[in-house]
Amino acid sequence: MIVIKRATDTLIVFAVMLLVWQALHQFVGDTALPGPVPTLQYLVRFLPTARFAENAWATLVSFFYALILSYAVGLSIGIWMGVHRLSGAVGEPILISLYTLPKITLYPVVLLIFGLSTSGRVAFGAMHGVLPVALLTMNAIRNIPLVYLKSARTLRLSKGQTILTVLLPATIPEVISGFRIGFALTLLGVLLAEMFAAKHGLGFLIINAMQLLQAEEMVTVALVLFVFAIAANALLLVIEHRLHRRV
Amino acid sequence: MSRVGWIRLAVIGTAIGLLEISCRLGLIDHRVVIPPSEMVDALLQLLISGQVNDQIARTFGIVTAAVLISVVLGFALGVVIHALPRLRETLDPFFATYYAVPIFIFYPVMIAIFGLSAIPILLMGVATALVAMIIATLNGLDRIPRILTKVARMHQMGRLSTTLRLKLPAAAPHLFTGVKLVVSYSFIAVIASEFILAPAGLGRIISDAYSDFDNRRMYALMLLLIVVATLVNMTLHTLDQRWAARRGLVKS
Amino acid sequence: MTSTTLPDRQIHASLSGVTRIYPGAAGQQPVHALGPVDLDLRRGEFFAVVGPSGCGKSTLLEVLAGLQPATAGTVIFEGRPVANEVPEGIGVVFQEDATFAWLTVWDNAAFGLRRSGVSEAEVCRRVDDALSFMGLKDFARAYPAQLSGGMRQRVCIARTLVLQPRFILLDEPFGALDAQTRLLMGDEVLRLWRRTDSTVLLITHALDEAAMLSDRIGAMSARPGRFLEIVETGWPRERDNTIVGQAQFGAITGRLWDTLRAESLKSLGYGGVAAK
């Protein structure tokens, strides 16, 4: 029942968004914003092309590496700061400051270090994603109820057993939450990097299309990324809810 | 300052110090990063010369406008949505997924529609910050203890009086969290937009400085942004935590 | 009040001159939470500790169990000293909800036993047995989030029960429950005590609960906690909550309150000595 209602609500939201899109299109015209139907037609033609495949692949590769970095480094920092109280207390405001900083201001430094290569985009994407992962992991560890640790000692678990069978399951839901936010931010970071200074990638395609007044391509690529982001987020949300249901 | 505060200061100071030494010793290429002391010097000179004051004013003006619009509109929309539970339920998936979308993919679309002016930049700022304010408003209104309405009726208070003297103060900490997020998101969105493509503004001149290999100017401006962003966000964050602590709300 | 008249093998656990001082956090004074305390627990007895809030009852339990080290004095369990580790044979039920949210009731109960190397068949037997005993058999596949507070505490008790402890410590296990549920849970604890033939130490702030359940009751002073008096109740082993109707019950609670009244005022902040 709830699932059906949620699905209906989602469809309603999508329908409204499509209507708004169409209305906006009527208002501003083809050169500025093509309507939903021509966009879909373009999408069908564009997706199978080599040009799309190359650029999508470039973005995917950068994103994938950036994501692995975000998760690995974020987890490490988060675990360290969660377990080692002093480091956590010292580092948390620093991480929060970095989180609220417009990291694009640091992008030129990244470019100067890495040049216009993929590594630069990977680094920039990771810079965005590492922070929520670290902060949420740290919080997850800090929020482990003290009584869990006392119980583990009462049940005479070894340190390894405590970490594997108590600490890990207790922190997983929040860590996955961090992964989900990290996913979105890493994607944003990689795309921003591509939009500013790249010759490949979906971000580049959007800016390039705009500059060449190819509105259809611009909107189509944006749509592809939009759908990808939403689908991935929905998947991670399902995982998160599965885990939260029991907690 | 607490012991933790001193340690933090020491950590940051050491990091900056190491950077300074590495640059001066030539361990880090001068064409990549300039020493922090030079950054400060460049910034001061730039500010004194007044060359970029109009750009600074423009950017901060757009940010301020974005903040004001997002806070007011976000609050208003939040109040309306909160009063219409069915609408809220329908919009729930929208809000849950909003920040999963890399919103900058629509920036070129905005430019295509509105032209290369301050408007698409402002729109990006509002688009990024608005939903955060709506969500914060909804949260704040949710967390008004139901008992307050009963207390108001016991004291025979009218609707306006109840809203202004009980409900708003009760929701205030969460609303303030919303404002904090709005400021942070507006800043990020406006700067990023100016960086990618803009006729003018701080982000634009930083990217120009990068293209022109003018490291001094570039780092001076980056420093300015970092200092301002950090100061503003930290102040809001501290206020947020302090007010929350006073209420007994545990915030992260 | 030490029982020097009892032979040593009858003393299951003992505390001699035990003190616990918490080192102060950065910039704060150390807190003298407990002691010095002397106590001998007889094998198989039901001993309750009562006292005002903050007097160190929980600290006493944790030092006895090996969860915290004593700052001074010795803790002996079954003839061996207890340091900073929980010895085998001790089971603890905490005040807070210690059920693991990601495991079913059955898996929760089996948790400690599984990791102690017992065969899977034996695990099944003991867990089924414990869950039946605690009245949780129908909820074996449920998750703790679906249960009430009282039921979750029963899961924690079941988890302890399967390990067949010889010494069970309960730290205000029914603190969060309403009065009627507490009375019923009191009977459950008595059944548990008789079934396992173990020594039980119960921490509670409810005088009537202590008077109803225990063989002996230790009344603790305000912080730093010391035993002011140890009261013998003399109840028969086969008892239940109907003994509250007996005159002796009133006498015991009255005597406890006489001892503790002044201490409770102290812990509330009256009479000069601040509690927390």
pLDDT at C257 over 50: yes
Strand pairing class (C80-81; C72-77): antiparallel
Give the contacts of C165 (CB within 8 A, at least 6 positions apart): C89, C90, C91, C196, C198
B12 contact A CB<8A: yes
pLDDT at A191 over 90: yes
Contacts of B203 in chain A (CB under 8 A): 104
Instruction: Examine residue C232 and state whether it is found in any structural domain, yes or no.
Output: no
Q: Quickly count: other Cβ atoms within 10 Å of residue C273's Cβ.
A: 13
Contacts of B2 in chain C (CB under 8 A): 26
Across chain C, what does the average pLDDT equal?
86
Output the pLDDT for position B164.
Answer: 79
Q: What is the domain count for chain C?
A: 1
Contact assignment for A147 to C112 by CB distance below 8 Å: no
C27 contact B CB<8A: yes
Instruction: Examine residue C185 and state whether it is found in any structural domain, yes or no.
Output: no
User: CA-nearest residue of chain C to A164?
Assistant: C115
A153 contact C CB<8A: yes
List of chains touching B (3+ CB pairs within 8 A): A, C
C213 CA to chain B: closest CA distance, Å? 38
Contacts of C94 in chain A (CB under 8 A): 147, 150-151
Mutate to test the interface with A, among C115, C156, C160 (most CBs of A within 10 A): C115
A152 CA to chain C: closest CA distance, Å? 8
Instruction: Examine residue C154 and state whether it is found in any structural domain, yes or no.
Output: yes
The 3-state secondary structure of chain A, one letter per residue: CHHHHHHHHHHHHHHHHHHHHHHHHHHHCCCCCCCHHHHHHHHHHHCCCHHHHHHHHHHHHHHHHHHHHHHHHHHHHHHHHHHCHHHHHHHHHHHHHHHHCCHHHHHHHHHHHHCCCHHHHHHHHHHHHHHHHHHHHHHHHHCCCHHHHHHHHHCCCCHHHHHHHHHHHHHHHHHHHHHHHHHHHHHHHHHHHHHHCCCCCHHHHHHHHHHCCCHHHHHHHHHHHHHHHHHHHHHHHHHHHHHHHCC
User: CA-nearest residue of chain B to C26?
Assistant: B3
Output the pLDDT for position B249.
Answer: 66
**B165-170: average pLDDT:** 82
Torsion angle defined by CA atoms of residues C49, C51, C53 and C56, in that order, rounded to the nearest 10 degrees: -60
A92 CA to chain C: closest CA distance, Å? 19
B2 contact C CB<8A: yes
Instruction: Examine residue C206 and state whether it is found in any structural domain, yes or no.
Output: no
Instruction: Examine residue C98 and state whether it is found in any structural domain, yes or no.
Output: yes
A143 contact C CB<8A: no
pLDDT at C244 over 80: no
C98 CA to chain A: closest CA distance, Å? 6
**A68-73: average pLDDT:** 96
Output the pLDDT for position C177.
Answer: 77
Domain limits at C105?
Answer: 92-164
Contacts of A150 in chain C (CB under 8 A): 62, 67, 92, 94, 98
Output the pLDDT for position C2.
Answer: 46
User: CA-nearest residue of chain B to A99?
Assistant: B184
Specify the fold of B35-246.
MetI-like fold (1.10.3720)
Dump pLDDT digits (tens) for B40-66: 999 999 999 988 999 999 999 999 999
User: CA-nearest residue of chain A to C86?
Assistant: A154
pLDDT-based confidence at residue A66 (cuts at 50, 70, 90): very high
pLDDT-based confidence at residue C8 (cuts at 50, 70, 90): low
Instruction: Examine residue C35 and state whether it is found in any structural domain, yes or no.
Output: no
Contacts of B1 in chain C (CB under 8 A): none
Question: What's the ipTM?
Answer: 0.87
Dump pLDDT digits (tens) for B111-125: 988 989 999 999 999
**B69-92: average pLDDT:** 92
Domains detected in chain A:
35-245 (1.10.3720.10)
**A6-10: average pLDDT:** 81
**C127-152: average pLDDT:** 92
pLDDT at C131 over 90: yes
Contacts of C67 in chain A (CB under 8 A): 150, 153-154
Contact assignment for C98 to A148 by CB distance below 8 Å: yes
C25 contact B CB<8A: no
**C247-268: average pLDDT:** 84
A239 CA to chain C: closest CA distance, Å? 14
Instruction: Examine residue C12 and state whether it is found in any structural domain, yes or no.
Output: no
Instruction: Examine residue C160 and state whether it is found in any structural domain, yes or no.
Output: yes
